[in-house]
Each structure stands twice: as structure tokens, then as C-alpha cells.
Amino acid sequence: NSYNKQIVWIVAPSKKSIPGLIRKLPHYGKYGYLVFKGNEPKNVIKGTWPSSRVGLEHVFIEGTYPLFPKAPLIK
């Protein structure tokens, strides 16, 4: 059951917009993405992502997953 496996990413332009987002977000549960604008905030874009029967899920099997080496930031 994937009902309780959501990820939310919120970027707020100001602290003033947070109370409005907290109040409004629960009413947009059927949407996959939302864009709000302003301190009110006002919803300006909403929509859903295309999906398949399996959804966006990856099951990792037990084992070791190597990390690729990264170049140093300075030499």
C-alpha cells in the first residue's frame, strides 16, 4: 500500500506565506504538484504527474551499494 509513502518538498519565499500554506495544502491532496504565489498564498499552478501501475518505487535488495569516487573540490 503506497498511500502513506508521500514525499513533500516545500520552498517558501518568506515566513509570511507559511501559515497560508499550512491552511491550504490539506485541500490539494489529489494533485501531484502545486505552485503557490505571494504571502496569501494563491494557487497558480496545479496538476498531476503521469503514473504507471507500479508507480515510482524501487525495492533495494540486501547487499552493498558502492559510492562512486568524487574528485576533490581543491587540489
29 is a domain residue: yes
Pairing of strands 42-47, 33-37: antiparallel
pLDDT at 6 over 90: no
Q: Band of the pLDDT at 64, cuts 50, 70, 90?
A: confident
The pLDDT tens digits of the residues spanning 26-61 come to 999 889 899 999 999 999 999 987 776 666 666 778
Residue 73 lies in a domain: no
Number of domains composing the chain = 1
Q: Is the pLDDT of residue 70 over 90?
A: no
User: What range defines the domain where residue 12 resides?
Assistant: 1-50
Cβ neighbours of residue 33 under 8 Å, at least 6 residues apart?
45, 46, 47, 48, 49
As a whole number of angstroms, the distance between CA 29 and CA 46 comes to: 11
Q: Let me know if residue 10 belongs to a domain.
A: yes
The three cell numbers locating residue 39: 504571502
60 found inside a domain: no
Kindly state whether residue 66 falls inside one of the protein's structural domains. Answer: no
